[in-house]
Structure 1
Amino acid sequence: MELRVGTLNLASGRDGAGRSLDAAGLRAAVAGVDADVLAVQEVDVGQPRSHGVDQPAEVAAGLGAADWRFAAAVAGTPDPFRSWTPVDPPVLRGSWETLAGPHYGIALVSRLPVQRWSVLGLGAGRARLPLRATDPRTGRLRRWWFPDEPRLAIAAELEHCTVVCTHLSFAPHTALRQLTRLRRWCAQLPGPVVLAGDLNLVGAVPARVFGAQRLVGEPSYPAPAPRVQFDHVLGPAGLEPQRPEVRQLPLGDHRLVSVTVTVG
């Protein structure tokens, strides 16, 4: 069967001007995405900065997806001026569940039936990154030293393969360690395994470390004029990539990366 897999860093649903889209705007922004399974990073649930929108639910609605899971990396609003509260151990939240309070993390959305879901915590690095980001208290852009967040992976076991979503550390040495651990975890999942996500590692590096082939090989960041590829879809040798696409959407600071593979 043919399977189209994509990955998108949602950036909390912000557009090119840094404004967070409301629920209707978010659904409309992803409505044209052609993906049977979509890995989504930097996803808000109930955050003041993004109008309290349940973003994984709205992305799923926009795609017409029947099933999805959200894994929270942080409980509360990410704020560099106070300690974050990691969700440990990580928990998967489904479409029928409601979270109390704001959360932030990753999501995996599927139009196809999923036989089993699982989640893996990858920890956080100690590095801090200078970023121009939205102040959760004022909604304005400002520069600050942003701490690394706890990193996660979600796996969806489909009939003929497993798709894994992740968002690795912005510190390359930490991202490499996380990717090595992720490779060991994926080796225990039903294959073939397709890894999709913002790996924060450039070019061919993640494919070599993960022991897979790079199914899309175009720059994806920053979205308006991409220079590097942080967003990857990786799969085992033998999967023939078809119709690879790197496309800018009206939200997020990364481009959508998607590709079709034949499995089973």
Structure 2
Amino acid sequence: MRLATFNVLHGRSLDDGAVERERFRAAIATLDADVLGLQEVDRAQVRSGHLDLTALAAEASGAVAHRFAPALIGTPGETYRRLAHDEDGADEPSFGVSLVSRWPVRSWHVTRLTGAPLRSPILSPGPGGRFLWLRDEPRVVLAAVVEGPRGPFTVATTHLSFVPAWNAGQLRLAVRALRRLPSPRVLLGDLNMPARAAALVSGWRPLAKVATFPAGSPKVQLDHVLLDRRGAAGWPGEPAAETPAVPFSDHRPLVVEMHAGPPPRRPGTDGN
């Protein structure tokens, strides 16, 4: 089982500033992920050539199920509006997160998170990046109950606030929402905090501790694959992780390969 998370920066290359369909598709294909969580995903945006990046990632992955969950309608950093709880904004330019799965999905679940009510400094991506005072945006958690090869499990993706402490509160809300769904549970995403903080706040186990940002020469880990210890006894112990270089985004993708052991015993059996 290969799980991956990737903040794609709406497919934009830091070298030429362009979003290219085939470049995006080829990079996603090389991840070879069975379940892929994407953040900073555009749909129908002028800046990304009106591409549906979620559908393109699903095609590249050979997926049987995929979904995009917008965090906002409009363009981040410009003009946008928040969504109502049950709104999809399908006919408008939007920005959010995606899940792509090679296995069937039993059900989808969306949890909306409020952005921080204050501006905070953030480093703009690319060469010569500078700190900008930005207002925070609404966030979203997209979860799926997936029919995996060893049975159903819950996988979710999110992109949390860049505002310290506020993102910790968002992570607690995300964990609370996911605990209502079947175990085992995995969270893929750009949490905008290091692994130790993500583990302490969530109580979940990081499946990889490796730098993912900035893409050119990673120094910190902002992107994570977290496993809820509750109900995860049948999952493998020490997965392998990689952060391949790709020709776009300011983050590296994080890929975790989990090597399954023997299936867990059924209650009442002696294992013979």
State whether residues 69 and 92 of structure 1, in contact with CA within 8 Å, keep that contact through their aligned partners in structure 2. Answer: no
Structure 2: which 5+ residue stretches go unaligned? 265-272
**1:242 deviation in Å?**
2.0
Q: Does 1:249 align with 2:241?
A: no
Which position in structure 2 is the counterpart of 1:171?
A: 163
8 Å CA contact 1:72–1:90 kept in 2: the answer is no
Conservation of the 8 A alpha-carbon contact between 2:97 and 2:158: yes
Q: Number of paired residues? A: 249
> Hey, what's the Cα distance between the residues in 2 that align with 1:173 and 1:200?
10
Deviations 1:180-228 (A, max 9, x none): 1111111111001011100001121111211111100001100111111
**1:102 aligns to what?**
93
Which of 136, 148, 152 is the matching residue for 1:148?
136
Distance 1:90 1:206, change over 3 A: farther
Which amino acid in structure 2 is aligned with residue 207 of structure 1? A
Q: Could you tell me how far 1:33 is from its partner in structure 2?
A: 0.9
Instruction: State how far apart, in whole Å, the 2-side matches of 1:122 and 1:78 are.
Output: 16
Aligned to 1:123: 114
* Match status 1:86 vs 2:82: yes
Aligned AA (2:140): L
Amino acid aligned to 1:87? L
Asked whether the 8 Å contact 1:22–1:53 carries over to 2, the reply is no
1:4 — aligned with what? Answer: 2
Unaligned runs of 5+ in 1: 94-98, 135-140
Corresponding position of 1:158: 146
Do the aligned partners of 2:14 and 2:125 also contact (CA within 8 Å) in 1?
no
| Matched residue, 2:200 | 208
Q: Percent sequence identity over matched residues?
A: 38
Q: Check the 8 A contact 1:71/1:90 in 2, yes or no.
A: no
Match of 1:54 in 2: 52
Alignment RMSD, CA only?
Answer: 2.1
- SS for the counterpart of 1:217 is coil
State the Cα distance separating 1:241 from its structure 2 match.
3.4
Change (3 A) 1:249 1:186: same
Larger Rg: 2
- Taking a change above 3 Å as real, the CA distance of residues 77 and 257 of structure 1, as seen in their structure-2 partners, is same
Amino acid paired to 1:86: R
Deviation at 1:132, TM superposition (A): 2.8
Q: Which residue is equivalent to 1:76? A: 74
Deviates more, 1:233-242 or 1:27-36: 233-242
